[in-house]
Amino acid sequence: MKFLLYLVMFILLLNGFATAQSLIRHSCKKASANDPKLKYDFCVKSLKEHPQSKTAKSLEELVFASTKNAVSKTISLKEMVNKILKEDKYEVETPLRNCLELYTGAIDFLNQSLDTVKSRDYKVATMLMSSAMDATGDCESGYTKRKKPLKSPFTKENDVLFHMVLIPIAFTNMLDI
């Protein structure tokens, strides 16, 4: 009898996982077709790596998962900046401090966007996510737009974060139709 119960539980779990995988692929395919900057493979890989998206049953749940994924990446970048500032090895501190402030704001924008998605205010959610996405370019500009341009230590990570924020923006736009 226990075996039968375990078998049923396993099948239900497997079915839920398969449904989430199908939702991820379908949503990423549709989103990447609507936005040429969004790469299908990156979208799928990014979501498959996030535990919450593996159990998602709706596009809205994927918005939450992908937004939380972007928040985690932004926190990671903020920690990188703090580490560099503590090591005191970087010759110019101002762009680092600017990036730190931008990432802090981006985290706030992303967290606020989660609340607006919950209330189904998708236009405001998209605006907040877009503001968070701007942090990546603004951080890079702090290095490149100087009298004596510097190489940003965050270029690669900013590019990844840009694309990670693009995912919930694209999904939220799909909800707003």
Residue-level length of the chain: 177
pTM: 0.85
DSSP structure string for 119-164: TT-HHHHHHHHHHHHHHHHHHHHHHHTSSS----TTHHHHHHHHHH
pLDDT at 51: 85
Q: What is the Cα–Cα distance from 133 to 164, expressed in whole angstroms?
A: 9
CB atoms within 10 A of CB 37: 10
With 0-12 / 13-18 / 19 or more C-beta atoms within 10 angstroms meaning exposed / middle / buried, residue 4 is: exposed
pLDDT at 26: 95
pLDDT at 1: 61
**CA neighbours closer than 13 Å in the CB half-sphere of residue 39:** 9
Phi (first) and psi of residue 4, to 5 degrees:
-60, -40
pLDDT at 21: 75
Question: Which residues, other chains included, contact 151 with Cβ-Cβ below 8 Å and sequence gap of 6+?
Answer: 143
The ranges of the chain with pLDDT < 70 are 1-20, 177
Q: What is the Cα–Cα distance from 71 to 63, expressed in whole angstroms?
A: 12
pLDDT at 5: 46
Torsion over CA: 86, 92, 97, 103 (sign) = negative
Domains and CATH numbers, the chain: 1-176 (1.20.140.40)
For 77-92, letters b (16+ CB in 10 Å) and e give bbebbeebeeeeeeee
Q: Please list the helix, strand and coil fractions of the chain in percent, rounded to the nearest 5, in that order.
A: 80, 0, 20
The tens digit of pLDDT for each residue in 103-154 reads: 999 999 999 999 999 999 999 999 999 999 999 999 999 999 988 898 999 9
